[in-house]
Amino acid sequence: MRTVLQPADITRALTRISHEILESNRGPEQLVILGIPTRGVFLANRVGELITSIAGTAVPTGSLDVTMYRDDLDRHPTRAPSPTHIPDSGIDGATVVLVDDVLYSGRTIRAALDALGDIGRPRAVRLATLIDRGHRELPIRPDFVGKNLPSAAHERINVRVAELDGDDAVTIDGGEA
């Protein structure tokens, strides 16, 4: 296992992503940040805090559980759904930025788009991911990327966040070829 991002690298990537989101949206107005459980929620909260400190205006954040919208539940171990928390302002007419830790096949994001459709009608949906590892199975592309990390399909990318794991790091595990 090798470490590819240290805590300072993760902070720098999230700060850059936050600036790019603000620039793309032309400010914090009508912006909602939603994290995809598990680690995407913590990253979304950090991005929301960074945008608030940069812009001086609070940006609503929340979480969007996509477990029951996945099309691969039969192939992956079932996990308990996490609560979805949509800010009181809702998502109708807003630019929603979905935040996830690792973008791989694109299936999680497809599920997130389905979940969003059941909640409301955002003006636009953007995608921010800490790691883009490639290997897309669906035509989904992130708008904001912390680090492109090309990897073999058998490798595992592990994102650790201090709020859950005690420290921040991104590691790559060679797995079995």
Domain boundaries, the chain: 2-70+83-173
Own/partner contacts of 153-159, CB < 8 Å, gap of 24 or more, are 157/102, 157/104, 157/131, 157/133, 158/1, 159/39, 159/101, 159/102, 159/130, 159/131
Of all residues in the chain, what percent carry a pLDDT higher than 70? 94
pLDDT of residue 76: 66
What pLDDT, in 10s, does the model give residues 104-150?
Answer: 999 999 999 999 999 999 999 999 999 999 999 999 999 999 999 99
Q: Is residue 82 very low, low, confident or very high in pLDDT (cuts 50, 70, 90)?
A: confident
pLDDT of residue 77: 63
More confident residue, 70 or 130: 130
Question: Could you tell me the pTM of the whole model?
Answer: 0.94
What pLDDT, in 10s, does the model give residues 29-56?
Answer: 999 999 999 999 999 999 999 999 999 9
Q: Quickly name the fold that domain 2-70+83-173 has.
A: Rossmann fold (3.40.50)
Across the beta sheet with 156-160, what order do the strands follow? 2-5, 169-173, 156-160
pLDDT of residue 143: 98
pLDDT of residue 49: 98
Span 5-24, average pLDDT: 98
CA pseudo-torsion sign 154, 169, 110, 81: positive
